[in-house]
Structure 1
């Protein structure tokens, strides 16, 4: 009974941590947006309110399994998370980070494409695409069904791929940073990165904006690998001065446009 109460406390604590992380990170980049692009989010309070509400639902869905796994790791030795820097070669540290990001990106790409099938788009993914254009608050704005498809990825990977606790923290930092910055409605990263060699392989706001504008392309999370391999990479989008995407009449949340074909 005592163990059960500790598991519940761990799940609640992790939910609180995920929620505070979301509010702090999205709040920071929303503040930065106001400083760098004054008025970009003007008149968007109702949308931002929806994004925050859905995101806070998602924090519980992400926090509960993470809290359970964290309890199991600390008390029962679950997972392949390690704390001794000498347990594995130092060269493995960046390899493990890349392995986690690539595995997460692969899962995200294919579940994201699946969510763009008309049925599942209407049921769940339409919630995320209600953000037109997305803001810094939209990173976790998911229907609970969609949140469930992503909440178990990292908690499952820690049972499969060894990773140092610090590198796991780095993975979570990158996940949070890219989730927020890809939805800000403007490009944070310098032009030389976005349009240079790195930009050909990495996803930033310019790439993901095109997904929110066209729906049927650019499904990746971190890397452009799967989009390029599967022919769904349609290049970089552009940001009008207002930051608002120009949508064709009747195109908002049109399941026909969001079909799995990726055309």
Structure 2
């Protein structure tokens, strides 16, 4: 049936399906690893949360499709049609652009996340969509992608849109996705895995980790950022870290 759609559309749909499988598998492997690590480092932290974790996994696998479809279509368009501003030769742009593009993607993603996240806390949108994510009380390593489809869609469009606008080397793009995955999971684990000397340092004071994001899950109206505390501080929504 797919073959009857024409080679281009069939290939795009196959890429979307493959990317959905990759995102779903990545979620199961990475969240599974950090859940296992939690069991080793903080035994009993997730005790009694079996039903909640089951719901987190179900919502997350649905989100994997919502993230995977646009990413797969864009990946196909990049490979087959030359869409996007992804490049493979490091000399296509100055070498300084490699770290600069990493920061640009993280900052732009963080900006989008902060403002859409605040919007999702408006009462109607919260009840309609964001309540699914906040049903994780406390959040676990399985909660990073536990979103209602509406919320998942707001997150799924960011990086696919940015690759059409901001040049990025394919390896740096991979690093962006790695950081997005690791921080999304570790921010929800319910315990701080990064050393105190980093968290309480001057540079660490601008980063979001579990100590910062867990307070959002407790108080709701604060700490909206994803990677950085820039927008929270600028907008007066930063409530600091959980007590050690």
TM-score by length of 2: 0.97
Cα offset, 1:198, TM superposition: 2.1
Cα offset, 1:238, TM superposition: 3.5
The SS at the match of 2:92 is coil
Cα offset, 1:150, TM superposition: 0.7
Q: Please state if 1:16 is matched with 2:21.
A: yes
More deviation in 154-163 or 193-202? 193-202
Partner of 1:166: 171
Partner of 1:233: 238
Q: What are the residue-to-residue correspondences of 1:13-92 with 2, within 5 Å?
A: 13-92=18-97
Distance 1:117 1:85 in 2: 43
The SS at the match of 2:208 is coil
Residue pair 1:209, 1:238 contacting (<8 A) in 2 also: no
Distance 2:92 2:12 in 1: 28
Partner of 2:207: 202
When residues 238 and 46 of structure 1 are mapped into structure 2, their CA distance, relative to the original with a 3 A threshold, is: farther
Distance 1:121 1:238 in 2: 27
Cα offset, 1:199, TM superposition: 2.0
Cα offset, 1:77, TM superposition: 0.2
Partner of 1:99: 104
Distance 1:109 1:68 in 2: 26
Q: Please state if 1:2 is matched with 2:13.
A: no
Deviations 1:37-88 (A, max 9, x none): 0111111000000000000000000000000000000000000000001111
Distance 2:243 2:18 in 1: 40
- Higher helix fraction: Structure 1 or Structure 2? 2
Partner of 2:125: 120
Distance 1:106 1:223 in 2: 9
- Unaligned stretches of 5+ residues in structure 1: 240-263
Aligned length: 239
Moved over 2 A (4+): none
